[in-house]
Amino acid sequence: MQCDYFDAGRCRSCTFMGVPYTEQLADKQRTVADVLAGHVPEDAWLDPRPSRESEFRNKAKLVVAGTTAAPTFGILDAGGAGVDLRGCGLYEPGLHEAALALAEVVPRLGLQPYDVRGRQGELKHLLVTHSPTGELMVRFVLRSTNQLGRLRRGVPVLLEALPQIRVLSANLQPRHAAVLEGDEEVLLSEADTLPMPVAGVTLHLGTRSFFQTNTSVAESLYAQAGDWVLDAQVGTLWDLYCGVGGFALHAADRACASGRSIQVLGIEVSPEAISSARRSADELGLGTARFIDGDATSLAPEADSRPDLVVVNPPRRGIGGPLARWLEESPASTVIYSSCNPATLARDLADMPCWQVTAARLFDMFPQTAHAEVLVRLQRPRPR
């Protein structure tokens, strides 16, 4: 991939830029295998799942700087000044078009960009998510409600320029800190979720919902996990840190399509994500799928029933000692662990010595960078 921003020295976020993609993928596979060498046998590795090396991102996280009349959309340099990256080559075509259109229409709204050095202004970030349907979620991150009225009055202007906007909101982030968004969200559209069709299942993303940045590779990730679930032939599945239910819903839907039924329980700390998962389950007619909000670390050990298979998809910090010890003592026959941080995955696997990794695969969600998504299948060793 060639990038004018990188060549000009304006952005260095893509640390592997200029390295041939086949070499990137091979190096990433070697690095991940080395980190997990004490836990994943060499013969357990499946071929890595590559990505398009450009135009793969479904979400843009744009720092807004500059002036009201001439804002920049991209990142900040070392001195806190804005660097405009509206034409980033990582964006999906539909997202690329939306970013360019928003960069043209936002100055018409009269919102003052936030000045990090002067600690004044209102508009901090513009967060844009693109669905395979072509629809968009657009979120304006503001410092306060001071210019919320101005944004409300500008909604018709935004929708005229981008009628594919389905969800529009303002997020309030009052702190002077390197934090992307705040806790309060003000919905400015009738719809509150963005439908994301992924491998035959429509997931619903709320404004605060997490979803993998690379839709195509996410489809393969869910498909691989679904294959392992079907191979295990289990009756109950728990999906911990389930988000909007991606792993659980795909597994349950595939089981149903094959004439089987799996009792599914998803646990996620975000009530918004759980509401979205329930909505998807209802649309799919999955009466055997149940989703509850709460901390998986505490709720899973306290539950009355016990699962046959557990899927965990934690944030970068991993599942941690308490949940690893619970899995170590649980009656489950299979664990599927999706990790975006091989280092914490290695730590967690070390805390579960009774489990054996029987398959592992790298999914390249983030070409041009060192970030790696790894899916591993753990099974109890068969008795001699």
Choice among 14, 88, 242, 340 that is catalytic: 340
Given a contact cutoff of 8 angstroms between Cβ atoms, the answer to whether 61 and 213 are in contact is no
Among 289, 184, 192, residue whose Cα is nearest residue 245: 289
Q: Which three-class secondary structure state does DSSP give residue 63? A: strand
The CB density around residue 5, as the number of other CB atoms within 10 Å, is 20
Side chain identity at 375, as an amino acid letter? L
11 is annotated as an active-site residue? no
Q: Which two tokens stand for residue 147?
A: 């210019």
Contacts of 164 (CB under 8 A, 6+ apart): 94, 98, 134, 135, 136
176 CB neighbour count, 10 Å cutoff: 11
Distance, in Å, from the CA atom of 367 to the CA atom of 359, rounded to the nearest integer, reads 23
Report helix angle 246-257 to 215-232, nearest 10: 50
Please, is 4 exposed, middle or buried when counting C-beta atoms within 10 Å of its C-beta (0-12, 13-18, 19+)?
exposed
Residues 217/49, Cβ–Cβ less than 8 Å: yes
Under 8 Å CB-to-CB from 382, ≥6 apart: which residues?
Answer: none
Give the alpha-carbon dihedral of 31, 322, 208, 367, to 10 degrees. Answer: 0
User: CB under 8 Å to 198, separation ≥6 — which residues?
Assistant: 132, 215, 218, 219, 222, 246, 250
Catalytic amino acids? 340
